[in-house]
């Protein structure tokens, strides 16, 4: 980013505050008190045109550059998303179903941000409105208080005063009140709202469902290939699995955890492959919704993808786990849960780590996980790392790891490069500048084979 853009972004900090406050006040004033949390969905991003309009309206420094507007758009989207999530937390703590401006005010206070002025809250009897006052060539906005006629105030009845309350108790003995049944202690604690107790109940399956679950799981991990294929086909197509979905997810996650532990047998790749195939079958089933079980399901898949060397043949396990990871991201990642960005941060940190911190099989899994998301991730994140990765792969002493890494990197880079450049006969100099001397000839060879 050049110096002009940096100064432009810093100079537009006040614009960011004004724009965000305008968005918040407008949204709160119109419909925040009517929003139902269960049906609320945060848009992926505010449009650049809306931010540009508000910046031109409230900023006296002139128009902003495209990079500054893009920066302000990302900041506005991120800040509003975080504030709405915290406001929903306040809402759930208060045991309510509708989001109000007071919840949003608590979220602003939690992040030490300036509160909203003039917002409509439950405690207000009417909507407050700003009044404009011009003073010393400056526009000052204030809230006009409700005007109460003096005669109405004089003629109004006085409030009934609090009555005096007396309580009979035993005399104190040596300065202390005796604790006996006839002399109960005065409860001076604040009246607390009684807690609603929920009875714990387990999800009980019928006898038929238990038999179905037992036969299905045993067949999925059996050695009979034909029956196993039939069981995997059931996982990918049967819509009645929703009743036993929680048990299936628990079976997969616990099976992966046990087989990845140090106490597990030496050769664990076969059983882990079968469990990941079950995961892939569940992801292919369009009738099932795994969103409620991602906190069990997704870590188990990532464990197979990023674990240290589990057995001699672990590359196919990482490839299949990477495909499952990409399907989960594409299907369940939203702007609210930020699942894709958090997963990208984990993978990117592993690829940029030192030699001693992570093994090359783990880096292989991180690379496959990034590439299986989409080609945009490859172009924006992998392309800048290819040169340095090539120089590091040259120095790997393990021949198998070096060959596997080279093969998978060339495969995904060729697909991504072809999607952005349809000219197969791209000049050799451009390939060498972008991918380095290690990967450029291999990618060029693959592009020629695709002719």
Sequence ranges of the domains in the chain: 3-143, 225-370, 374-451
| Residue 12 pLDDT | 43
| Residue 418 pLDDT | 81
| Residue 189 pLDDT | 56
| Residue 44 pLDDT | 54
- HEC string for 371-422: HCCCHHHHHHHHHHHHHHHHHHHHCCCCHHHHHHHHHHHHHHHHHHHHHHCC
Q: How confident is the model over 279-315, as pLDDT tens digits? A: 999 999 998 999 999 999 999 999 999 988 666 678 8
3-class secondary structure, 191: coil
Percent of the chain clearing pLDDT 70 (strictly above): 75
| Residue 399 pLDDT | 84
Whether CATH 1.10.20.10 fits 3-143: yes
Inter-residue contact 36 to 97 (CB < 8 Å):
yes
Distance, C-alpha 421 to centroid of its chain: 33
| Residue 187 pLDDT | 60
Backbone angles phi, psi at 317, to 5 degrees: -65, -45
∠220-340-84 over CA atoms, to 5°? 120
| Residue 193 pLDDT | 56
| Residue 31 pLDDT | 37
| Residue 434 pLDDT | 80
Domain at 225-370, CATH homologous superfamily = TAF6, C-terminal HEAT repeat domain (1.25.40.770)
Q: Structure pTM?
A: 0.58
DSSP classification of residue 99:
E
Task: For the chain, list residues with pLDDT below 70.
Answer: 1-45, 59-62, 117-130, 167-172, 175, 180-203, 263-267, 309-312, 421-427, 451
| Residue 301 pLDDT | 94
């Amino acid at each position: 980013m050049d110096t002009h853009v940096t100064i432009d972004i810093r100079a537009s900090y006040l614009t960011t505050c004004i724009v965000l406050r305008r968005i918040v006040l407008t949204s709160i004033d119109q419909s925040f008190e009517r929003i139902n949390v269960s049906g609320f969905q945060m848009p992926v991003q505010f449009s650049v045109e809306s931010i540009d309009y508000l910046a031109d309206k409230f900023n006296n420094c002139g128009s902003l550059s495209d990079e500054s507007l893009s920066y302000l758009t990302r900041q506005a989207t991120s800040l509003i998303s975080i504030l709405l999530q915290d406001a929903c937390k306040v809402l759930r703590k208060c045991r309510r179903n509708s989001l109000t401006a007071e919840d949003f005010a608590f979220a602003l206070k939690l992040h030490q941000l300036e509160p909203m002025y003039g917002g409509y809250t439950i405690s207000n009897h009417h909507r407050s409105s700003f009044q404009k006052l011009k003073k010393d060539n400056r526009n000052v906005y204030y809230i006009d208080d409700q005007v109460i006629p003096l005669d109405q105030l004089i003629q109004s009845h006085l409030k009934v005063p609090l009555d005096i309350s007396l309580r009979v108790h035993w005399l104190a003995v040596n300065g202390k009140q005796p604790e006996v049944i006839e002399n109960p202690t005065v409860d001076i604690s604040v009246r607390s709202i009684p807690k609603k107790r929920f009875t714990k109940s387990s999800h009980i399956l019928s006898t038929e469902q238990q038999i179905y679950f037992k036969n299905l799981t045993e067949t999925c991990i059996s050695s009979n290939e034909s029956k196993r294929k039939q069981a995997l086909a059931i996982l990918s197509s049967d819509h009645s699995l929703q009743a036993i979905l929680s048990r299936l997810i628990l079976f997969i996650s616990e099976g992966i955890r046990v087989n990845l532990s140090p106490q597990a047998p030496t050769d664990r790749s076969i059983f882990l492959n079968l469990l990941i195939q079950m995961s892939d079958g569940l992801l292919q089933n369009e009738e099932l919704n795994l969103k409620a079980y991602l906190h069990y399901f997704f870590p188990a898949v990532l464990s197979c993808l990023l674990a240290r060397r589990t057995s001699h043949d672990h590359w196919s396990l990482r490839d299949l786990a990477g495909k499952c990871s990409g399907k989960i991201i594409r299907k369940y990642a939203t702007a609210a849960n930020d699942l894709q960005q958090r997963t990208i941060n984990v993978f990117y940190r592993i690829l940029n780590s030192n030699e001693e911190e992570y093994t090359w099989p783990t880096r292989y899994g991180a690379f496959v996980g990034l590439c299986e998301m989409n080609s945009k991730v490859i172009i924006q994140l992998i392309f800048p790392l290819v040169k340095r990765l090539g120089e590091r792969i040259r120095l790997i002493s393990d021949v198998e790891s070096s060959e596997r890494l080279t093969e998978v990197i060339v495969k995904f880079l060729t697909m991504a490069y072809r999607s952005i450049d349809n000219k197969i006969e791209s000049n050799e100099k451009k390939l060498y500048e972008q991918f380095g001397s290690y990967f450029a000839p291999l990618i060029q060879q693959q592009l020629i084979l695709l002719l």
